[in-house]
Structure 1
Amino acid sequence: MKKSDIDYFVTIVPFLLVSVLVLLFFIFPSQTSRLLGGIRSLLNNSLGIFYLIFGLFIFLLSIYMAFSKYGNIKLGGGKKEHSDFAWGTMMFTAGLAADILFYSLCEWMLYANQDRISSLGDITLWSATYPLFHWGPIPWAFYVVLASCFGFMLHVRKRTKSKYSEGLRVLLGSHVDGIAGKLVDLTAVFALIAGTATTFSLATPLLSQTVAKLFGLESNNILTIVILLIVCIIYSVCAYLGIDGVSKLASCCTYLFFALLLYVFFGGGHGRFILELGFKSLGNLADNFLSLATYIDPTGKSSFAQDWTVFYWAYWMVWCVATPFFIGSISKGRTIREVILGGYIFGLSGTFISFIILGNYGIALNVFGQANLLKMYNDSQNLYSTIGTIISSLPLPVIAMILLILTMITFYATTFDSITLVAASYSYKDLENKEPSKRIKLYWSILLILLPIGLIFSDNSMSNLQTVSIIAAFPIGIIMILLIISFFKDADMYLNE
């Protein structure tokens, strides 16, 4: 690749923006937290309803796309490039990262004392149901709808620019080659960085604490940063291997993931409770899906929807910058119907099993009096130490800790090498079906790790992370609407041809 092929605006400007943010978090942590809190409050109070409406719209749209004439469109000619298992594991591991382990173990605790949960009735049931909603059909709808759009763009229209702006070409014409296209791509890249920062900064302290406990080290920010850098090296090396390396690592990650789940299910001694509560919570989700998707308190007495549902929809929206591109790129030879329904089958089955086993095991410890996890968390406000208690309650906890560490590392590596491949493509004016150079992939590997390191020094890291995602998701939501309109316009032209 020549230097003239590099899109320096989209490559350099995000680096400068992230560097400024890192410096602000490091030098002025409390002031930055207050500023972000004010912006988040404004967005939540004024525009929270936008995220909820958009989430429900995307889910309904995915069902329409799958069973309408658009579902028959095949993404490129020839045979499928990957087996169903390899395709499903790559899609599942690329779409969730290590967050799924962190939240599966603790999310029910975050809801249990909320007024919204107590007002619904059975606290145990609703604490187990809401995680399935926040990680369920709507999040995967974001992925599969955009993956269909990008897969059509890449494999049917055979466009060589793997960028958000290219998806708008039918709608905006030559404007995507000018300043409008660059602003779209800049917004997308910044949102991608915000999403990866959220993932790294929330889940990595759990990995750090588990490593510290296993090896008798002190758990602190330095250890967390060292682990972040090690993970960065691992996924950078994996990105060098290309799509075959991603496929093998995704399969390895899936085996480790299910080994951990089986260990907790059979070793924890609460298999019956886990299954029964899981079955009941799935039914509860199905019965109340529409009311959950539209819940917001217009009186302002409860901020549950803004604090959680709005955050999650924003979180999935910023991840839509990279993950759907990756899913679309590995879906050559499949129909849009297969992409959407396959995404739901592989995505929801893995996600639901994780939350039902890991989450309900923690609930069982609390319900049966083996560990008062809610009191422990309320007293300490430390999720990571409370999760440590859950892991330590298992027989031979060393085995559980080793499985957790290996699974988290492979989840990170699988997710972020695929993201690095996608992000690196933004650095080129036209990739022409070639892979980004190793130097560009290394550049993005380092860039994606900077903001998480800066956020570690923030006084209110979780709130700041949620705020960064919510802010970045708003313009991304508008761009996603334009992408969908552009897809339908282009698909109609294709079908009429």
Structure 2
Amino acid sequence: MKKSSIDYFVTIVPFLLVISLVMLFFIFPTQAGNILAQIRSLLNNSLGIFYLIFGLFIFLLSIYIAFSKYGSIKLGSGKKEHSNFAWGTMMFTAGLAADILFYSLCEWMLYANEGRISSLGDTTLWSATYPLFHWGPIPWGFYVVLASCFGFMLHVRKRTRAKYSEGLRVLLGSKVDGIWGKIVDLIAVFALIAGTATTFSLATPLLSQTVAKLFGVSNNNILTIVILIVTCVIYSACAYLGIEGVSKLASCCTYLFFALLIYVFFGGGHGKFILELGFASLGNLVNNFFSMSTYIDPTGQSTFAQDWTVFYWAYWMVWCVATPFFIGSISKGRTIKEVILGGYIFGLSGTFMSFIILGNYGIALNVLGQVDLLKIYNESQNLYQTIGEVISSLPLPFIAMILLILTMITFYATTFDSITLVAASYSYKDLENKEPSKKIKLYWSILLILLPIGLIFSDNSMSNLQTVSIIAAFPIGIIMLLLIISFFKDADMYLNGN
């Protein structure tokens, strides 16, 4: 690639903006935090209904697209580039970072003390149901709908600019080549950088704690930085190798993930409880899906929807900057219907198994009186310490620790090497080849890890940056709507022979 083909504005400006923001957090932490908290409060309380409506709309739209005339559109000519297993594992691992393991082990604890949960009746059942809802059909709906739009853009229309702005070309015309396109891509990359820093902040402390406990070393910032660097080296190497490297790491991650689930299910001794509660929570989710999707307390007495459902929908929307592009890019040769239904099958089966096995094992320890996890958490307010008690309760806990460490590292690496491939595409004005150059991929690999490392030393900055990633979801949501409208317009033209 010639240097002239590099889009320096989209490559450099988002990074400078984030660094400037972080510096403001360091210099004026209280003032910056207050301003961001007020903006987030406005979005959550005044516009929270937007996220709920949008989430339900996207899910229903995905079903319509799959079984309408649009579902029969094949994404490119020729046979499928990847086997169903390779495609499914890449899609699942790209869509979820190591935070799925963190939340699978602890999310039920976060709901157990909520007034909303106790008001519904069976606290145990609802604490197991809400994680399935927040990691279920609606979040994956965001992914599969946009993956269809981008897959159509890349493989049917054969556009070489793998950017959000390019998806709006049919709607905005040549304006996407000017300032409006730059603004769209700037928002997308800024949200991506902030979102990746947020993800690293969630699960890395659990990883550090487990490594420290396994090897008997001190759990400190140096250990966390070493872990992040090792993870960066792994995903940089795979991104450097391209799709083949991503595919191999995704398969490795999937095998480790299922090894961990099998070990907890059979080794923990609560398989019957896990299955029964899992079956009941799935039924509860189906029966109450629409009431959960539309629940928001207009009186303001409960902030459960704002604190959790709105937060999750916004968080998944930020991740829609990269993951759907990757899913769309690896789906050549498949129909849009296959992408949507396959996404739901592989995505939901993985997330549901994780929460049902890991989450329900913790609930079993608590409910059956083996370990009072809620008491430990309520007294310490330390999720990582409480999760440590869950792992320690397993037979030969060092095996569980090794599996957890390896699975988390490969989850991080698989997710971020796919993100690196997408982010690197934004660095080009026009991507003539299938993949960005290795130097550009390496640049983004390093860039994505620098922010989490720098923010380890500032808890306030990390908290504020998490808020920034949620705030970024609002304009992303508007852009997503425009992308969908553009897709329908373009797809109609295609089906009519234009």
Q: TM-score, normalised by structure 1?
A: 0.98
8 Å Cα contact 1:19-1:450 kept in structure 2: no
Give 3-state SS (helix, strand or coil) of 2:37's partner. Answer: helix
Q: How many angstroms does 1:454 deviate by?
A: 3.9
| 1:129-171 deviation per Cα after TM superposition (whole angstroms, max 9, x unaligned) | 0000000000000000000000000000000000000000000
Moved more, 127-136 or 36-45: 36-45
What letter is aligned with 1:485?
Answer: I
Q: How many angstroms does 1:30 deviate by?
A: 4.2
Counterpart Cα distance in 2 of 1:447 and 1:38: 29
Counterpart Cα distance in 2 of 1:30 and 1:216: 37
Which residue in 2 is equivalent to 1:20?
20
Which residue in 2 is equivalent to 1:120?
120
Instruction: Say yes or no: does 1:354 pair with 2:354.
Output: yes
Which residue in 1 is equivalent to 2:428?
428
Q: How many angstroms does 1:233 deviate by?
A: 1.6
Alignment of 1:164-183 (within 5 A): 164-183=164-183
What letter is aligned with 1:98?
Answer: A
Alignment of 1:70-85 (within 5 A): 70-85=70-85
8 Å Cα contact 2:161-2:430 kept in structure 1: yes
| 1:158-191 deviation per Cα after TM superposition (whole angstroms, max 9, x unaligned) | 0000000000000000000000001000000011
What letter is aligned with 2:55?
Answer: G
Q: CA RMSD in A?
A: 1.2
Counterpart Cα distance in 2 of 1:466 and 1:297: 24
Q: What is the identity percentage for the equivalent residue pairs of Structure 1 and Structure 2?
A: 88
Aligned residues: 497
Q: How many angstroms does 1:460 deviate by?
A: 5.0
8 Å Cα contact 2:15-2:190 kept in structure 1: no
8 Å Cα contact 1:22-1:450 kept in structure 2: no
Which residue in 2 is equivalent to 1:440?
440
| 1:220-275 deviation per Cα after TM superposition (whole angstroms, max 9, x unaligned) | 22321221122112111111111011111101100000000000000001000000
Instruction: Say yes or no: does 1:242 pair with 2:242.
Output: yes
8 Å Cα contact 1:22-1:454 kept in structure 2: no
8 Å Cα contact 2:195-2:466 kept in structure 1: no
| 1:7-42 deviation per Cα after TM superposition (whole angstroms, max 9, x unaligned) | 010011011012112323444444443332222112
8 Å Cα contact 2:264-2:394 kept in structure 1: yes
8 Å Cα contact 1:58-1:145 kept in structure 2: yes
8 Å Cα contact 1:23-1:454 kept in structure 2: no
What letter is aligned with 1:323?
Answer: T
Counterpart Cα distance in 2 of 1:98 and 1:22: 24
Which residue in 2 is equivalent to 1:258?
258
Which residue in 2 is equivalent to 1:222?
222
Q: How many angstroms does 1:444 deviate by?
A: 1.0
Which residue in 1 is equivalent to 2:132?
132
Moved more, 163-172 or 189-198: 189-198
Q: How many angstroms does 1:465 deviate by?
A: 5.0
- Residue 251 and residue 82 in structure 1: after superposition, are their counterparts in 2 closer, same or farther (change >3 A)? same
Which residue in 1 is equivalent to 2:232?
232
| 1:282-304 deviation per Cα after TM superposition (whole angstroms, max 9, x unaligned) | 00000000000001111111111
What letter is aligned with 1:394?
Answer: L
Q: TM-score, normalised by structure 2?
A: 0.98
Which residue in 2 is equivalent to 1:190?
190
Which residue in 1 is equivalent to 2:330?
330
- Residue 462 and residue 129 in structure 1: after superposition, are their counterparts in 2 closer, same or farther (change >3 A)? farther
Give 3-state SS (helix, strand or coil) of 1:161's partner. Answer: coil
Alignment of 1:360-379 (within 5 A): 360-379=360-379
Alignment of 1:92-491 (within 5 A): 92-460=92-460, 463-491=463-491
- Residue 462 and residue 258 in structure 1: after superposition, are their counterparts in 2 closer, same or farther (change >3 A)? farther
What letter is aligned with 2:385?
Answer: S
| 1:175-216 deviation per Cα after TM superposition (whole angstroms, max 9, x unaligned) | 000000010000000111122111111011111111111111
8 Å Cα contact 1:239-1:418 kept in structure 2: yes
| 1:410-458 deviation per Cα after TM superposition (whole angstroms, max 9, x unaligned) | 1111110010010001000001134212221122112212332344334
8 Å Cα contact 1:30-1:458 kept in structure 2: no
8 Å Cα contact 2:82-2:330 kept in structure 1: yes
What letter is aligned with 1:172?
Answer: L
What letter is aligned with 1:313?
Answer: W
- Residue 463 and residue 367 in structure 1: after superposition, are their counterparts in 2 closer, same or farther (change >3 A)? farther
- Residue 262 and residue 281 in structure 1: after superposition, are their counterparts in 2 closer, same or farther (change >3 A)? same
8 Å Cα contact 1:267-1:394 kept in structure 2: yes
Counterpart Cα distance in 2 of 1:402 and 1:212: 12
What letter is aligned with 2:291?
Answer: S
Q: How many angstroms does 1:369 deviate by?
A: 1.2
Moved more, 437-446 or 287-296: 437-446
- Residue 339 and residue 101 in structure 1: after superposition, are their counterparts in 2 closer, same or farther (change >3 A)? same
Counterpart Cα distance in 1 of 2:369 and 2:493: 62
Counterpart Cα distance in 2 of 1:29 and 1:475: 25
8 Å Cα contact 2:22-2:461 kept in structure 1: no
- Residue 460 and residue 360 in structure 1: after superposition, are their counterparts in 2 closer, same or farther (change >3 A)? farther
Counterpart Cα distance in 1 of 2:462 and 2:24: 16
Q: How many angstroms does 1:464 deviate by?
A: 3.4
| 1:434-493 deviation per Cα after TM superposition (whole angstroms, max 9, x unaligned) | 421222112211221233234433445775354222201000000000000000000000
Counterpart Cα distance in 2 of 1:304 and 1:249: 37
Counterpart Cα distance in 2 of 1:313 and 1:450: 26
